[in-house]
Each structure stands twice: as C-alpha cells, then as structure tokens.
Amino acid sequence: MSEDGDNIGERMDAGARQAEADREANAALILSLRSQGIRSHKVLSAIERVPRRLFLSAALQRHAAMDSALPIECGQTISQPSLVAMMTEALDVQTAHRVLEVGTGSGYQAAILGHLSGEVHSLERYRTLVDLARERLATLKIGSVEVHHCDGLEGLAEKAPFDRIVVTAAGPDIPRPLADQLADGGKMILPLGPKGTVQQLVMVERRGAVLGRRVLADVRFVPLVEGVATRL
C-alpha cells in the first residue's frame, strides 16, 4: 500500500475508534440519566445521538461524559447533561412545536432540541459562540436549528408565537418580550434569581392571559445579559 493509502487507513481507523468511544460514552451517560429519573425515551434518544465531546474544547473533551457543568468560550458554561435532560423532558417538546432557546452557548441543548422539534430558533449574544454552534450543528447535519446573533432578552418576534421557550441564563424575573411571545398553551422554562446565588428553575405555562408558575429545582446559571456583545 502507498504512503497515502496508509495515511487514509490510519485516519479511517482513528475515526472508527472515536465513533466507538463516543457511543460508549453516550451509553454510559444514558444509564446515568436513567438512574437520576429521566424517563422520556425520546429525550434519552436525542441525547444519545449528540456527542457532547463535539461541544467542548479539545482540552476538555475527555470530561465529556461527566455529569457536570464545564467552561466554554466567552466565559460561559455548558450545563451538566442531567440538567439539560431534566429541562428538556419537562418541556415535553413535540415535532410540530416551534421552539425558542435563549442562550445558545455551545449549541449542545440546541442540538438535542433539534432532534425533537422541526423548528428551533436559538439566540446568542456572542458572535464566537454563534459561529461555533453553527459549525457543530452542520457537522451533525441538524438542519432544524437556526442560530441567531441577537439580544436574547428581546426574543424573536418575527417567528413568534413559540410553543416552547427555554432560557439558559438567569434573570430576576420573566422578560416581558419572552412572555409575550409564548403561545397560548405554551410552556417556558427558565432560571430566576440574582447572580451568584442559588436560583430557582421555574416552569411557566400560559393559559390565555394568565401565566402560571411552578418551581422545579434549585439551580445555578450564568446571568442573563442584555444586548449583543461588542467583543467576542
């Protein structure tokens, strides 16, 4: 075999080994999520199809199977898989739902939502994160997610109303534009509370003009920041 042929074979072998490692890591992750009470088959299936490793920097990829939050670019974090699974399961996303995500971050949760819904709009204030998320989603061939570089606090009025809204950063109260863009019968999940303290993960459900709330868990999220970043 020629030297070029040897190199191609080595790359194919490395790719196959990595694919097998991803399958093993995700299988272990699914077992862990089941043990923590995640029961939705479709949510577990979506998570199993998204290698978390692809959403981390090279230095942190060995930690991809850990159920812990990890740092990503622009001073943000990728949430622990159990929290992503719990939030996604609570939303009960259906294929026909139009979904809004505020805070794309690495793009990991957007990818999972993209396997559950035919239309997902994800908003991110950092251009660096927008570009990285788009690349990762394209690599995974997830075409149902559109990532927008904009102020997430304003929502995306031109695509409203949304059947489901998920907010991945914490603020003191429900942003009015997001409440206005939630469809009748729709659900929104978001963390509420001040920066640097334990916050409450809240489920909001619209029934006509009434927004009902219930607390799901205590959490810690990065703060929800107004505007589009002028750097990064």
Helices (H) and strands (E) in the chain, counts: 6, 9
The set of catalytic residues is 79
Q: Is 194 helix (H, G, I), strand (E, B) or coil?
A: coil
pLDDT of residue 19: 76
8 A C-beta contact, residue 34 and residue 45: no
The pLDDT tens digits for 58-90 are 999 989 988 999 999 999 999 999 999 999 999
Side chain identity at 132, as an amino acid letter?
Answer: L
Tell me which residue of 31, 61, 60 sits closest to 48, measured CA to CA.
Answer: 31
Residue 129 makes CB contacts below 8 A (sequence gap 6+) with 72, 73, 74, 76, 104, 105, 106, 107
Supply the angle between the helices 81-91 and 41-48 in degrees, to the nearest 10. 140
pLDDT at residue 53, as a whole number: 93
Average pLDDT over residues 32-54: 95
pLDDT in tens, 141-191: 999 999 999 999 999 999 999 999 999 999 999 999 999 999 999 999 999
Pairing mode, strands 70-71 and 145-149? unpaired
In the numeric block, which tokens belong to residue 31?
A: 């077992």
Name 102's Cβ contacts closer than 8 Å, sequence gap at least 6. 123, 152, 153, 155, 165, 166, 167, 168, 169, 178, 190, 224
Contact 145, 120 (CB under 8 A): yes
Q: In whole angstroms, how far apart are CA 59 and each of 56, 62, 84, 105, 130?
A: 8, 7, 22, 18, 20
Q: What is the pLDDT of residues 92-142, one digit of tens each?
A: 999 999 999 999 999 999 999 999 999 999 999 999 999 999 999 999 999
